[in-house]
Structure 1
Amino acid sequence: MHQPTIPDLSDLLVLRQTLHTYPELSGMEVKTALQIVNFIKRYQPDEIHTQVGGTGVAAIFYGKKIDGPTILFRAELDALPIEETNENLPHKSVMPGIGHKCGHDGHMAILAALGSLLHQDKHERGKVILLFQPAEETGAGARNVLQDERFQQLNPDYVFALHNLPGVALHKVIVRNEVFAAASTGMIIELQGKPSHAAEPENGLNPGQAMAEVMLAFEQITRQKEQFQDLTLLTIIHARLGEVAFGTNPGFATLMATLRSYQNSDLEKLRQLATRFAKEKAEKFGLQCTIKFVEEFPATVNHAEAVQVVTQAADKLSLEWQEALKPFRWSEDFGHFTATYKGALFGIGSGLEQPQLHHSDYDFPDDIIPTGASLFHEIIHIILNKH
């Protein structure tokens, strides 16, 4: 493997570990964004836009000539509501119940390292946008950025992002044409009946039986696999019936589920089926039913040309790469970008022994910061040679 030298790598490692120590949740990344702005200024970008789509930051580097393609690279600002259990970690999170358990701190450091390379070696033409995006974990960030008028004016020709992949050999690049990551959404069903004293259940309307029938109906939906094109899952993640009070016959219930599929069309069909069953059961038992969907992620669908650019860049850097046989089951809101612009999301192995994403003992491996930055840098050169 050969790659450009990053002279301030030690500073970038400090940045990554500091970001890890002070994580912020989706939509609340104010201090994280400020730290990114203060750090990226050392590389003298031609423009810096703040509060993009909320707390987002876009640093823009011009080429020696302005005409040419505009290429965007994205990293995520937000952390997760997960308590860190890495007791001996020098840069352990000091924020109770919050941790960078997905590696977004490392992704930000990779993008900052790309800024270092662009500062050293100004590209010939066009523009490069380093986008530090808010609220990826909730699915709201990419959508909000795309709706920001200032971002719309940037109008990139290509968009790229990477994600570290535990369980894959360090530095190994994982690509996939078409669907890279699944579509998903959260579903919240609220059933309203009428409470009463537990001694007089006949005077109330308990939604317990309806909730149980909805759960059984949901289980049947995804068992009938022939009605879907590809993998489709419905996972009940929370159920609540009334309050913990033995003298009460409950009058309300809440059921939450995650709907997930590789195909956007399958997810839409699953939404319709789940909604229909929930409403039918509510009506059967004379209950009011409220349904809402949250944390919506489209499938991340890669463009063949963009994937080819990634593999060419990996070859140029003598990095091993492999095409994933199936899409990843997790979701990524970068799908909003690839639905609008030509682009690709790809993976970089973060180690065979690395704890999995969203686990409480996960910590991003700093070794792949230069790898990610070099890949992004090489992608720029390959695209410019094509245009």
Structure 2
Amino acid sequence: MAVISREIIEQAKLWRRDFHTRPELGLKEYGTARTISELLSSFGLDVHTGIAETGIVATLRNGEGPSIGLRADIDALPIHELNEFDHISQHPGLMHACGHDGHTAILLGAARHLSENRHFRGTVYFIFQPAEENVGGGEMMVKEGLFERFPMQAVYALHNWPGLPVGEVAVSQGPMMASQDNFYITLTGKGCHAAMPELGADPVVAGAQLILSLQSLISRRLSPLEQTVISLTQLQAGEAINVIPETLHMSGTLRCLSRTTRETCWRLIEEYVQAVPQPYGVKGEVRWEFGYPVTQNHPAQAVILRDAAENAPGITQVHFNNAPSMAAEDFAYLLEACPGAYFWLGADGTTPSASLHSPRYDFNDDIIPLGIGVLATLVERELKA
């Protein structure tokens, strides 16, 4: 069991609040990256910068042996913060609303602890990844040769998790998070006077029918055992209240927990978009914006992570093979390229945390020593001296 010093814990809390005051968007985390690099260098690590623009990999070697990677995300969100504490964002319109400031501080704390307490044999790569939010910095790092430049047997990451109590961890041998794709549908009919609809072809009525049909796709064209979400979130049509418009635009998101289901949904949505509007004399087209794949843990590494968490200081319960979330995470790209596992670290104290991506969210500093402890214990157990 790794015992984390009080000095490292308190320092990590200060780092976290400093990052919170200076949030930066994906691929623009220049100040954040500079601070991370300086700290890692001060720990005596070999630091490599400029991977996927602002990404960093730091190497800690302690003799011959296997190697593993630990990853944290470093970017913020374009959200105006509504909190009132001293460490509120100093960049209007930007905030750390997902806890990446805390993830970064935890990984820095683990790096310092392991550099000072080398109870392992092998190599640890500390991966500070930019642009997790929507941009896909994880995919960029993989494409730029992350695993070729820094060969590792496994890679691990965490995410703080509101809704799970402090002291608890959740990890599964399969999906942890869903895939994420966006679709943009255009329905084109024939505009006319609203009092004479028979002279036109109404894309609004066709769109209403398409929305209902897409919802029934999940219950009637897919197995009820396939967990899928199709949400229509945007509609735009018309200018004048007495005119049936020529076009209707709608968009939404698709979330799936397997690649097979994801590909089936791509095909079915395109089929519905073309077929459902036809009886109304309306033409349908769909454009896709393919996003993150399923965050799929590798079974062996999930067990290794579970066992490490069960032996980490302060962890009171480990939920194994828990239900996944339909949110998405670009650590999925790293897991497609390398064995590994991803876990949730409980964030709810006596007062429940605000939800992720809320303008009132703030990372719970009480879980910083728990996160450092799990990562350090994982290294010490997997890279046994």
TM-score (norm. length: structure 1):
0.89
User: Tell me, which stretches of 5 or more residues in structure 1 are unaligned?
Assistant: none
Quote the Cα distance in structure 2 between the aligned partners of 1:161 and 1:13. 19
Are residues 1:104 and 2:103 paired? no
Deviation at 1:346, TM superposition (A): 0.7
Are residues 1:37 and 2:33 paired? no
Report the counterpart of residue 337 of structure 1 in structure 2: 334
Are residues 1:84 and 2:46 paired? no
Verify the 8 A CA contact 1:241 1:250 in the aligned structure 2.
Answer: yes
Report the counterpart of residue 356 of structure 1 in structure 2: 355
The equivalent position to 2:71 in structure 1, one of 74, 90, 94, is 74
Report the counterpart of residue 252 of structure 2 in structure 1: 257
Verify the 8 A CA contact 2:67 2:383 in the aligned structure 1.
Answer: no
* Backbone CA RMSD of aligned residues: 2.6
383 and 25 in structure 1: CA distance in 2 versus 1, 3 angstrom threshold: same
Residue 329 of structure 1 aligns to a residue whose secondary structure is coil
Quote the Cα distance in structure 1 between the aligned partners of 2:283 and 2:52. 36
The 5-angstrom pairing of residues 186-205 of structure 1 reads 186-193=182-189
Quote the Cα distance in structure 2 between the aligned partners of 1:284 and 1:26. 45
199 and 25 in structure 1: CA distance in 2 versus 1, 3 angstrom threshold: farther
140 and 2 in structure 1: CA distance in 2 versus 1, 3 angstrom threshold: closer
| Matched AA of 2:58 | A
2 and 373 in structure 1: CA distance in 2 versus 1, 3 angstrom threshold: closer
The 5-angstrom pairing of residues 1-387 of structure 1 reads 3-5=3-5, 7-50=7-50, 52-61=51-60, 63-65=61-63, 67-86=64-83, 88-122=84-118, 124-138=120-134, 140-149=136-145, 151-193=147-189, 206-224=202-220, 227=223, 229-243=225-239, 245-246=240-241, 249-281=244-276, 283-284=278-279, 289-294=284-289, 296-318=291-313, 319-320=315-316, 321-352=318-349, 353-385=352-384
Deviation at 1:213, TM superposition (A): 2.3
Quote the Cα distance in structure 2 between the aligned partners of 1:149 and 1:313. 28
Quote the Cα distance in structure 2 between the aligned partners of 1:38 and 1:285. 63
| Matched AA of 2:272 | F
Verify the 8 A CA contact 1:139 1:297 in the aligned structure 2.
Answer: no
Deviation at 1:212, TM superposition (A): 1.9
| Matched AA of 1:35 | T
Deviation readout 1:287-315 (Å, 9 max, x if unpaired): 56442333612222212221222222223
| Matched AA of 2:72 | A
Quote the Cα distance in structure 2 between the aligned partners of 1:142 and 1:288. 37
Quote the Cα distance in structure 1 between the aligned partners of 2:22 and 2:280. 49
Verify the 8 A CA contact 2:173 2:300 in the aligned structure 1.
Answer: no
Deviation readout 1:172-231 (Å, 9 max, x if unpaired): 111211122222222122334566787897887653233222212112112227535421
379 and 150 in structure 1: CA distance in 2 versus 1, 3 angstrom threshold: closer
Quote the Cα distance in structure 1 between the aligned partners of 2:260 and 2:94. 34
Residue 357 of structure 1 aligns to a residue whose secondary structure is coil
Task: Among all aligned residue pairs of Structure 1 and Structure 2, give the percentage whose two residues are the same amino acid.
Answer: 30
- Between the two proteins, the alignment pairs up a number of residues equal to 381
TM-score (norm. length: structure 2):
0.89
Deviation readout 1:64-99 (Å, 9 max, x if unpaired): 32x42221111112222322221x211112333322
User: Tell me, which stretches of 5 or more residues in structure 2 are unaligned?
Assistant: none
